[in-house]
Amino acid sequence: MYSIKEVIIVEGLYDKIKLSGFIESPVFSVEGFKVFNNKDIQDSVHTFSEKTGIVILTDSDSAGLKIRAFLRQLAKGGTVFDAFIPEIYGKERRKAVGGKEGLLGVEGISEDIIMEALKKSGAEICGVRTEKRSQTPIAKADLYALGLSGKENSLALRKELLKELNLPSKMSSNMLLSVINRLLSKEELSALVDKIKKM
């Protein structure tokens, strides 16, 4: 069993059940879109972000990214880490039909992949902070210089980068910037972009 210092925030009950099989730390479900109208859930997310910090672990589909963005707003002023599962096509066993976008949600993802996402988030796992911070933060200007924003093929290049990093393809530039500052140095990002351009 793994212990995570922060409270893990997930979309639904089945996600919470999945994580409780290998994580002994608190996992809090926002009950999907219910979070948008439920003041108690909203207050809980804000409190957790201030007291222990939170790790947001939502599905990689559009709905999951929308919920994630809302949760980040609720947690302003607190400590927030983002864990992203890769886009894997399929359907959960308990469902008769897959989701609208055909992607597996947190409940359908393997323990190994979830733990890898949590490690990449910067969360404190079993007493060890997993975050890797760049000595010199990567800025929006760096994304522009590398061709990841503001240029003719930026969207295609950004999608390839997201694919290489196993991150959701619909991630915004701002979220990408936040995540790559946790995962890569400027040099590593530059080398990865060069590799993608040569493919």
Which pLDDT score is estimated for 91?
Answer: 86
pTM of the model: 0.85
pLDDT of 100 > 90? The answer is no
Average pLDDT over residues 66-84: 95
Delimit the domains of the chain by residue range. Answer: 7-129, 140-198
Q: How many Å apart are CA 125 and CA 25, to the nearest integer?
A: 10
Kindly report the three-state secondary structure assignment for every residue of 144-186: HHCCCCCCCCHHHHHHHHHHHCCCCCCCCHHHHHHHHHHHCCH
What CATH number should be reported for the domain whose range is 7-129?
3.40.50.140
* SS3 call for 148: coil
Query: What is the per-residue pLDDT across 131-172, written as a single tens digit (0 to 9) for each?
Result: 666 568 899 999 999 999 888 999 899 999 999 998 898 888
Per-residue confidence band for 178, with pLDDT thresholds at 50, 70 and 90: confident
Distance in angstroms (rounded) separating the CA atoms of residues 129 and 119:
8
